[in-house]
Amino acid sequence: MKRKIFLTVLFITSLIGWLAAQSSDKETPAMKKAISEYNSLRYLSAIHHLNAVLEKDTSNVKAIEMIAFSYRQVKNYDEALFWYEKLSHQKSLKADWVLYFAEALASKQQYEKSEQWYRKYLSMMPADKRASEFSRADLNSFTQNNGFWKVAYTNLNTAASEYSPLYYKDGLLFSSNRLRKSASGRVFPWDNTPYSNLYQVAKLKDVKDVDTDSMMRVAFKGSGKAYRFNNDDTEPTSNDSKTLGQYNPALFMDTLGLALNSSGLAKPLMGRVNTKYHEGPASAFPDGSLIFTRNNFYKGRQGKSKTGINKLKLYIASGSGLTTITEFPYNSDEYSVGHPALSTDGNILVFASDMPQGYGGTDLYYCVRSGAGQWTRPVNLGKQINTEGNEQFPYLAKDGTLFFASTGHAGLGGLDVFEVALKDMKPVHQPRNMGVPVNSSADDFGLVRSEDGKSGYFSSNRRGGDDIYHFSQASSRVRIEGTIKDARTKLPLGGSRLLMRHLDGTDTVRTDTKGQFSKDLAKERDYEITGQKLGYVSQMGFTTTVGITKDSVIRMDILLNKTESPQQYVISNCDSLKRVFSVQNIYYDLDRSEIRYDARPALDELVALMKKYPEITVITSSHCDSRASEEYNRNLSLRRGEAARSYLISRGISAFRVKVEYYGKTRLVNRCYPGVVCSEQDQQLNRRTEFDVILNGVNLTQLNCED
């Protein structure tokens, strides 16, 4: 998992300083060794020594904190959770313990408990955006598109790490710390794995989806060759593998990865990009030149910060065979710059950095290339995208959509992939979590998308190590887009919201500062949509995805009227008025529209109400069950609405006070969909007319008093 250096080396300096201040002559030799290894970022070795310390002193809080963080750094979430659980019982809690415990719980899908600890963190750090986002996140919204994308393991993967894919020329480029045929003595001490290099697959058609179950069966039926390894976190010895004793034994524990190791599909990138240190995420210019991430290593010299940390830098590889290497002008020895993403024309660069004056761990910045080829100074993409957490691994699609990974926006655990449309390099809406199955409770990151938007590749450690997955569109996509505006001025109303009611509950969609909203809709579902804004009268609409079989965008602009004093009276007295103007539904026999005898008392009560309060009007909304065709049911529901209206008129109610709306079978109150076996009692519930009372221009029946 070589990307870990790109994720967390940025934050180690303060921890080293704290530990150095805490160290004293009273420490045992084992503890001093553990601190030394920890300060040197050799986490696997530190774990070995800390285990020895804790065997003798189980109450050593400093050792527990170090081992918890070390396990977090090497992505052993089970052990990290175990040790942060112990820290959570301390009388005096540190805010970062609480945060990391909440994150570890989420990574193991213990979401309810995770939310409790995010709330605890929020009470300790009330200004932290992460805590508030995670504590009020609707996890169900992250699973709504579960059937939209199909995700598959690819034949790029090995027992090592593969991550950050990039479309390059006719194939694919990616980073990997896979073992070379000729063993190298250089080991990355963070987790005792090889350093990463860039690899290239010449033809995209050679990248295939892999049936993991079939591959595992084939692997187990193979030569039966045994791999020897430790299954704990002790330092590797020469007995841990038959060839490379200095490496982390986890490299030899992935049966599926080992089965794919010998494919020879990917070759090391030619030129002078790869070195003896890390080469990571890259992006390509139109002419085939690359801008890529590397440790601070240039012209044979390794640079370090004032605190001794080797930061990340961006380099440009150009010329014939990528042999000319130049530094990005805004690199620094004191902070990291990496994870580049270029626009299609190569003139806009987005990258991740922990440079000063950011919002949190790593933020996303952008530069623009001038006509002379120079890059403008970096500009932070702003607090709508960046958080107190880490925003990393950006990718700019051709249509201007920015994809990135984040630990700061609410998600399923670890890094999640988000998307946001940009206009003039500003977000036009809140970043959207891509949801399951692209995201998981593990780290998901480094996504790239095809030009048509229907497929792509991304990285994930959901199987343990970092692997590259292929995603493709499994079904059509239906999206609703629109703007909430002032009905009189037609100006957008930023900060508005939509309530989208359906059979499974209610989704809340908040608009951006320009009043714009956008959301993917579930298949074969009816939505009742209410636009809301403080100081305005709510407006209700309806849409459906029933019968839509191709990619579609439903456009719905919503106009809201300002609340005048009579309307404000209704809103302010919502609860009491609802009790006064409560009206019962009426029901119909199968395939009939006549007013039944048992419906007359409810209609007579409505007549009396309308005569007593001549200022009210009503809307009759009539419906059918799911049997018969859509067209037939539309007409039947119209006849039912007209029958109810005629009854009211016959009892002395003016015709202009009764409006008829009809919906056929599009607004079922239960799951009695076409072809579903339902009882007659359940079917009866759908054959109905509902009555909305309109008072002072406000639909009192649909008004949510809590809002």
Q: 410-449: per-residue pLDDT in tens?
A: 888 889 999 998 989 999 888 889 988 999 988 999 999 9
129: confidence class by pLDDT, cuts 50, 70, 90 = confident
In a domain, 232, yes or no: no
| pLDDT for position 235 | 41
Same domain, 425 and 286: yes
State both tokens at 155: 């034949």
Q: What span, in angstroms and rounded, lies between the C-alpha atoms of 588 and 642?
A: 13
The pTM is what?
0.68
Contacts of 181-190 spanning 24+ positions with Cβ under 8 A = 183/243, 183/244, 184/276, 185/246, 186/276, 187/246, 187/247, 188/2, 188/5, 188/278, 189/40, 189/41, 189/42, 189/44, 189/45, 190/4, 190/5, 190/41, 190/42, 190/43, 190/44, 190/73, 190/74
In a domain, 224, yes or no: no
Q: What span, in angstroms and rounded, lies between the C-alpha atoms of 597 and 604?
A: 11
Same domain, 421 and 396: yes
Which CATH number characterizes residue 413's domain?
2.120.10.30
Same domain, 56 and 112: yes
In a domain, 163, yes or no: yes
Same domain, 262 and 347: yes
Same domain, 424 and 281: yes
Which CATH number characterizes residue 678's domain?
3.30.1330.60
Coil, strand or helix at 65: helix
Phi, psi of 338 (to 5 degrees): -165, -170
Cβ-contact 414, 444 below 8 angstroms: yes
19: confidence class by pLDDT, cuts 50, 70, 90 = very low
**Domain encompassing residue 515:** 478-562
Order of strands across the sheet with 467-473? 209-210, 149-154, 467-473, 455-460, 444-449
145: confidence class by pLDDT, cuts 50, 70, 90 = low
Same domain, 332 and 453: yes
Q: Which of 237-251, 255-269, 528-542 has the lowest mean pLDDT?
A: 237-251
Cβ-contact 696, 616 below 8 angstroms: no
Q: How many domains does the chain fold into?
A: 4
In a domain, 51, yes or no: yes
Closest CA to 493 of 534, 541, 527: 534
Q: 162-218: per-residue pLDDT in tens?
A: 999 999 999 999 999 887 655 455 666 666 677 889 999 999 999 999 887 666 565
Same domain, 212 and 136: no
Same domain, 304 and 365: yes
Same domain, 264 and 379: yes
Q: 202-236: per-residue pLDDT in tens?
A: 999 999 998 876 665 655 555 444 333 333 343 43
Q: What span, in angstroms and rounded, lies between the C-alpha atoms of 460 and 440?
A: 8
Same domain, 327 and 457: yes
Question: Does the pLDDT at position 3 exceed 70?
Answer: no
| pLDDT for position 191 | 60
| pLDDT for position 245 | 41
Give the CA angle between residues 96, 97, 103 to the nearest 5°.
85
Buried b (16+ CB within 10 A) or exposed e, 263-291: eebbeebebebbbebbbbbbbbbeeebbb
Which CATH number characterizes residue 134's domain?
1.25.40.10
State both tokens at 301: 């010299």
- Which domain-ending residue is among 562, 577, 600? 562
Same domain, 399 and 439: yes
Same domain, 445 and 334: yes
| pLDDT for position 75 | 81
